Chains A and B, each alone.
Chain A
Amino acid sequence: GAGVSQSPSNKVTEKGKDVELRCDPISGHTALYWYRQRLGQGLEFLIYFQGNSAPDKSGLPSDRFSAERTGESVSTLTIQRTQQEDSAVYLCASSLGLSGGGYDTQYFGPGTRLTVL
Chain B
Amino acid sequence: GQNIDQPTEMTATEGAIVQINCTYQTSGFNGLFWYQQHAGEAPTFLSYNVLDGLEEKGRFSSFLSRSKGYSYLLLKELQMKDSASYLCAVKAGNNRKLIWGLGTSLAVNP
Contacts and interface: CB of A to CB of B under 8 A. Distances in A.
A25 interface: no
Interface in A37-76: 41-43, 45, 48, 50, 56
Given A105-B33, A105-B48, A111 B42 contact: yes
Nearest to A96: B96
A107 to B, nearest CB: 7
B98 interface: yes
B41 to A, nearest CB: 7
B60 interface: no
B43 A43 contact: yes
Q: Give the most central of A31, A33, A91, A106: most B CB within 10 Å.
A: A106
A44 to B, nearest CB: 8
Contact of B96 (A50, A108, A111): A50
Contacts, number: 49
Mostly, the A contact residues are mixed
B50 interface: yes
A42 B103 contact: yes
Interface in A10-40: 31, 33
B108 to A, nearest CB: 19
Given A56-B95, A102-B50, A104-B96, A42 B42 contact: no
B102 A41 contact: yes
A91 B42 contact: yes
Given A105-B33, A108-B44, 14 more contacts: A31-B96, A33-B97, A42-B87, A43-B43, A45-B98, A45-B100, A48-B97, A50-B96, A56-B95, A97-B96, A100-B96, A103-B31, A106-B98, A108-B43
Interface of B: 30-31, 33, 41-45, 48, 50, 87, 91, 95-98, 100-103
5 contacts: A45-B98, A48-B95, A48-B96, A95-B96, A102-B50
